[in-house]
Structure 1
Amino acid sequence: MTVALMWEARAVAGRGEELLSWARAQELTPPPLRREMLRAPQDRVLVITWWDADHAADLPELPEPDSRLVTRAVHRWRFESVAAD
């Protein structure tokens, strides 16, 4: 089964690039099958990691960044793949 973990944070205004750099620097052990970094308006950063694991598996996740870098707690979601084109 493929599980995708989504991590989304909103940086303090004007610090989106800093948050993106911070997220890029975070190592996950073991590494995921795939890791994608995305950004959006309002200094939002989204990281999606894909794993060959069960939905409830204990997987490494990105931590919370320093509270001075973000405007709120990180949002996290876990999905399992049902189809791919």
Structure 2
Amino acid sequence: MTLARMWEARAADGRADQLHAWVREEALPALRGAPGLCRAEVFTAPGDRVLLITWWEGRPAPVADPPEGLLARPVHRWEFTSTHVE
């Protein structure tokens, strides 16, 4: 069974580039080598949001929260189970 975990954070005003860098330089390296990690992608979205989507075989590893000063609100997290791929 493949699980996808979506991690989404909204940057504090003027901190979007710093939040994006934190995900690339801290969150992703912390996940590398985690058991079951199949794939990871980082996205940006309107509203100074940064998304990290990871795909797992088995239980996903947690993603830490960034430093509080980078955030406009708490991080949102969702998990999805893959049911169909073409």
> Taking structure 1 as the reference length, what is the TM-score of the superposition?
0.87
* Count of paired positions: 81
Query: Displacement, 1:80?
Result: 0.5
Q: 1:64 matched to which residue of 2?
A: 65
Percent identity between the two aligned chains: 46
Give matches, 1:20-59, under 5 Å.
Answer: 20-25=20-25, 26=27, 27-28=30-31, 29-30=33-34, 32-53=37-58, 57=59, 59=60
Q: Give the unaligned 5+ runs of structure 2.
A: none
Query: Displacement, 1:71?
Result: 0.7
Check whether the contact 1:3–1:81 (CA below 8 A) recurs between aligned residues. yes
Alpha-carbon RMSD: 1.3
Query: Displacement, 1:64?
Result: 0.8
Q: Deviations over 1:23-53 (max 9, x none)?
A: 1122214162100100011110010000011
Secondary structure of residue in 2 paired with 1:48: strand
Query: Displacement, 1:62?
Result: 1.4
Matched, 1:81 2:82: yes
Query: Displacement, 1:13?
Result: 1.6
> Taking structure 2 as the reference length, what is the TM-score of the superposition?
0.86
Secondary structure of residue in 2 paired with 1:18: helix
Which protein has the bigger helix share?
2
Which residue identity does 1:24 align to in structure 2?
R
